Homo-oligomer: A and B are copies of this chain.
């Protein structure tokens, strides 16, 4: 079955608008059945549960070369994120974290997506797109109208393919760092 056909067929539970909180209570939804990866076949699950293993998360971030962050601060960030979206696969009857994104928001108008990551072993299989589409879908449920992010140069075209635009009407993303 084609990916998107499967995707919509199996996430019908999400089709009615509901609050993020009520969606959060639904854990580990099957997102992709029988994904082929290096000759092995695995199912991919999506979860909005923010009670994730922080060491698994840091391991995932390390796999793409991000610098290690204090685990206590990571916990604070997770606890104060509006939305956490994780992708898991099942390996040796254990769940393995293979994708992650989180969102800060005022719960009303604006949201910003941070820390989007797919494990290198699982890249190039449409999982980044699936992860982002899940993220956008849930933000739309919450009636958030402006979804923003800051994209590294090498992923700008990826986000463009999902409908994100750079500098609309000349609006510029700006950063302030401590000296």
List residues of chain A with CB under 8 Å of any chain B CB: 69, 73-74, 76-82, 102, 104-110, 112, 114, 136, 140, 145-153, 156, 159-160, 162-178
A171 contacts which of B78, B105, B106, B173 (Cβ < 8 Å)? B173
CA distance A176 to B111 in the complex (A): 10
A174 contacts which of B80, B104, B109, B159 (Cβ < 8 Å)? B159
Q: Do A172 and B166 form a contact, CB below 8 Å, given A108-B73, A110-B112?
A: yes
Q: Do A114 and B110 form a contact, CB below 8 Å, given A156-B174, A159-B174, A175-B148?
A: yes
Sample of 6 A–B contacts (CB below 8 Å): A77-B108, A110-B112, A146-B175, A152-B170, A164-B175, A171-B173
Dominant SS among interface residues on chain A: mixed
Instruction: Contact check, A149 vs B174: say whether CB atoms are below 8 A apart.
Output: yes
